[in-house]
Each structure stands twice: as C-alpha cells, then as structure tokens.
C-alpha cells in the first residue's frame, strides 16, 4: 500500500517488517575490515541502466555506468553539454555560489541577475546531466578548460551539494521566469539522478562510477538525503517544481520508494536492536563500509541525523518506519557525550590546534564515528589506525575534520517532539 509523505506529497510505501531485512553489525569487537580494492564489473546490457522500477541487475548497472562515461555514450541520458546561452545580465561581483542563493526574496529569481547566475550554472552541466563540486557555478566559464572534467575528480557528483543545489536553484528561476532552457537543464539533472540510483535504492557519490569509496552508497555529508529531499519535492510537483512532467514525477516517486527501502535495510543492529547508520555502505552487501582513510565502518553521529529527517517526512509512516526513527533517536541519546567541549588553542610550537577539555556546563556533543559493537567514539587519522582519544590523531586531522559536533541537538529538541505529536497513535 502506498502512503502519502505529507506536506510534499511524495508517495512512499507502508513498509512491511516481515519483508525487509537489515544488515547486522560485526560481532568481532573493535576489528575493522580492510579497506577494499575495487573489482571489475561484469558485462551486461547498457539499456538496463534505464530499467523502470529498479529491475536492472547490479552487474548491468555497473557496466552501463562504464559505458556512459565513454565519450561515444554521453548522449544516453539526454542532450550533450549545454552551449553558452544568450547573455541576460551582468553578474554582480559579490555573487558566489552557495546555498544562500536558495534563500533570496521570491521576486529576485525573475531578475536579470538571477538569470545570469542560472545561465552560468547550466554551462557547467555535464553531458551526462550532473554538475561538479568545489566550483563557483555563479562565475561563467571563460573557456572549456574552466569546466571540471571527470579526470580532475570534481565532475558528476552529489557530494557537497553538487547537482542537487544547482537543480534547486534552476527550479526557482525556471518557475519565476518560464524560460525553457532552465526547465530543460533541470530535467536533464533529474534524469541523471534517476539513472545514477543503484537498483537496490542507494546512490553512489559519483556517477558514472569512480573506483574506490566513491562508489559506496553515500550517506556521507547528507549526500543521499539531499537527493531524496529533492526528488520528493519534484514528485510532489508543487512550487517551484510544477513544471516537472508526469513521467518524471512518477520516476522521482519510485526512486524515493527505493531509497527509503535501502535506508531501512542498512540500519545497523546491535544484539538484535536497531541503532543508526554508517556514513557509507557497501553497494553490494549493504554492510558499513570504508570511506576515506579516516572514515571507518562505524555508526555515525552526524549522517544518521539527515537520514532520520528523511524518514520523518513520510506522512503516514508504517510501524517499521516509526521503529527505525525511534530506535535511532534512542541510540543518539544513549551515545551523547556530556561534560566536555572542543576548543581551539595554540600549541607549544605556536601552531593552531584543537583539544577536548572538561566543561560541566557544556552542550551535549556527539562523535562523528562510533565503534560498531561498543558505541565507543573512535578517531582515525590518515594512517587508518583506530584510536579512542581525539588527542592521539595528528594535528592536521584534528584541525581539518569534524570529529565532534552537535548535529542531533535540534533534531532531538525540536523535530522529534513535533513528529511524535503529529503521529500519536
């Protein structure tokens, strides 16, 4: 039975707990699996990439991804890269590409300045339909060399808001202006996201696939949560997505259904009890998986928050979905760290550093990584060695990565009470 997701009207299934299975955490204590080497995909039909309803085999999907990356296949999803559009307005020097562009006054999206930004954004769209990360999309490329290519590791990704943020912005401008090229670029992006989804419901960080952790199901930095939120909005067809055609709305709704399915299947159990999620899961086994050298198979105090919020959007959650949410928030409360704070300081050699100090009045903190079987906070540097003290990893990582944070605080204090009130039974 399909249920309504609520205010954004995206259809989701009423999940049957007798059907869904979940990945159990390892029973071997603190030991972590070795970081895997990628294996070569099997040969399957390229057309399986576009199978409706997730019927494609994983082998076929992997081969299709490889073919799509080849220059003679780049038109498979839609048109080739967009040619430079006609000039609409000169960009203000102060405009930089960020999610702040989604929070402007409604009338601004019809302005010449907004259209100029949109015209710049569509020039960065790849032939496959995605966008690059770590790129100022608001600054028009001066030459083809300014547009990231797959070889430089930035193109065609959902990491760091790439692809989803450009699509959200283009939808706002398309809705306000009615200009066809903005709708068309959004539609190519939507086709790209639908094609990038694994048959099991997850999304890789890069598509076409890159070898290594980039091909894992990626919850890291809320990548998959952002995709699901965007697809829900597109499926609903409300402002600013009213221009999305019915076949694409249906495709988006089906993709969200599969995405929720894999979320439920990847929630880790400890001794039969549901807990949380890893930042990335293996695309074949669904087990917690390695990310970068300092991102081990573990339970995440950060990414689990975005996943819970996606589940909370389901308008009529089944008992299984409600159990997934309640179990995850119970786990988050149990692993909260009290009585300390993280502060910057200057080391004896006059270098900037960070440390954990006692603070009885400090706000609750959560670790980015918790050991799969013990729930102990763990810290890894670039050597991939598990340590149990923040002070034991190298200064470069202590200063360059968020090992502690307050990510669940608003979820537990505000979102959870509202959700429980809405779904009293």
Range of 224's domain?
A: 2-73+197-422
Q: Is residue 276 part of a domain?
A: yes
In 151-162, which positions are buried (b, 16+ CB within 10 angstroms) versus exposed (e)? Answer: eeebbbbbbbbb
* pLDDT grade for 323, boundaries at 50, 70 and 90: very high
Length of the chain: 425
pTM: 0.85
Query: Tokens standing for 413?
Result: 């204090």
Q: Is residue 358 part of a domain?
A: yes
Q: Is residue 150 part of a domain?
A: no
Convert the pLDDT of each residue in 35-66 to its tens digit: 443 333 333 333 344 333 344 567 766 766 76
Helices (H) and strands (E) in the chain, counts: 11, 14
Q: Is residue 83 part of a domain?
A: no
Active site residues: 160, 292
Convert the pLDDT of each residue in 88-123 to its tens digit: 445 555 689 999 999 999 999 999 999 999 999 999
Q: Taking a C-beta distance cutoff of 8 angstroms, is the pair 229, 241 a contact?
A: no
Please tell me the distance from the alpha carbon of residue 123 to that of residue 115, in angstroms, as a whole number. Answer: 13
Q: Is residue 366 part of a domain?
A: yes
Please tell me the distance from the alpha carbon of residue 189 to that of residue 245, in angstroms, as a whole number. Answer: 14
Q: Taking a C-beta distance cutoff of 8 angstroms, is the pair 91, 139 a contact?
A: yes
Choice among 6-15, 63-72, 350-359 with the minimum mean pLDDT: 6-15
Q: Is residue 99 part of a domain?
A: no
Instruction: Please tell me the total count of domains within the chain.
Output: 1
Q: Is residue 210 part of a domain?
A: yes
DSSP string, 256-295: HHHHHHHHHHH--EETTEE----SEE-TTT--B---STT-
Task: Classify 130 as helix, strand or coil.
Answer: coil
Q: Is residue 303 part of a domain?
A: yes
- At residue 424, the pLDDT reads 87
Q: Please determine, for residue 13, whether its predicted confidence score (pLDDT) is greater than 90.
A: no
Convert the pLDDT of each residue in 151-179 to its tens digit: 889 999 999 999 999 999 999 999 999 99
Please tell me the distance from the alpha carbon of residue 63 to that of residue 8, in angstroms, as a whole number. Answer: 35
List for the chain the helix, strand, coil content (%; round to 5): 40, 10, 50
How many angstroms separate the Cα of 240 from the Cα of each of 56, 58, 142, 220, 264? 31, 34, 30, 27, 29
Convert the pLDDT of each residue in 195-218 to its tens digit: 999 999 999 999 999 999 999 999
Query: Tokens standing for 313?
Result: 């959007």
- CATH number of residue 203's parent domain: 1.50.10.20
Q: What are phi and psi of 281, to 5 degrees?
A: -125, 150
Query: Tokens standing for 109?
Result: 């999206």
Query: Tokens standing for 304?
Result: 């689990």
């Amino acid at each position: 039975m399909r249920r309504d997701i609520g205010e954004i009207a995206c259809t989701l299934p009423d999940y049957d707990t007798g059907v869904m299975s979940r990945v159990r955490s390892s029973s071997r204590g603190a030991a972590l699996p070795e970081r895997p080497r990628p294996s070569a995909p099997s040969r399957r039909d390229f057309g399986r990439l576009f199978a409706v309803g997730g019927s494609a085999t994983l082998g076929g999907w992997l081969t299709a991804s490889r073919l799509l990356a080849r220059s003679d296949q780049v038109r498979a999803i839609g048109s080739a890269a967009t040619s430079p559009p006609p000039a609409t307005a000169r960009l203000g020097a102060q405009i930089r590409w960020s999610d702040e562009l989604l929070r402007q006054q409604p009338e601004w999206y019809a302005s010449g300045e907004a259209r100029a930004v949109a015209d710049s954004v569509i020039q960065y769209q790849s032939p496959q339909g995605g966008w690059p990360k770590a790129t100022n999309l608001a600054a028009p490329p001066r030459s083809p060399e300014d547009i990231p290519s797959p070889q430089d590791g930035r193109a065609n990704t959902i990491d760091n808001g790439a692809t989803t943020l450009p699509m959200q912005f283009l939808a706002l401008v398309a809705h306000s202006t009615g200009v066809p090229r903005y709708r068309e670029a959004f539609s190519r992006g939507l086709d790209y996201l639908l094609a990038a989804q694994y048959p099991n419901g997850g999304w890789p960080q890069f598509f076409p696939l890159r070898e290594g952790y980039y091909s894992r199901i990626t919850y890291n930095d809320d990548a998959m949560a952002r995709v699901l939120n965007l697809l829900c909005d597109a499926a609903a067809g409300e402002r600013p997505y009213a221009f999305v055609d019915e076949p694409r709305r249906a495709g988006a709704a089906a993709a969200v259904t599969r995405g929720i399915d894999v979320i439920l299947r990847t929630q880790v159990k400890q001794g039969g009890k549901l807990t949380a999620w890893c930042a990335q899961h293996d695309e074949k086994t669904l087990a917690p998986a390695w990310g970068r050298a300092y991102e081990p198979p573990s339970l995440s105090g950060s990414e689990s928050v975005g996943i819970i919020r996606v589940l909370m959007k389901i308008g009529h959650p089944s008992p299984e979905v409600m159990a997934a949410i309640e179990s995850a928030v119970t786990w988050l409360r149990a692993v909260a760290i009290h009585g300390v704070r993280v502060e910057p300081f200057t080391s004896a050699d006059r270098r900037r550093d960070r440390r954990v100090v006692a603070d009885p009045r400090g706000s609750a903190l959560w670790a980015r990584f918790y050991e799969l079987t013990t729930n102990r906070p763990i810290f890894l540097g670039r050597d991939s060695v598990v340590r149990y003290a923040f002070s034991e990893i190298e200064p470069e990582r202590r200063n360059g990565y968020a090992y502690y944070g307050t990510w669940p605080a608003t979820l537990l204090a505000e979102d959870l009470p509202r959700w429980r009130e809405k779904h009293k039974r």
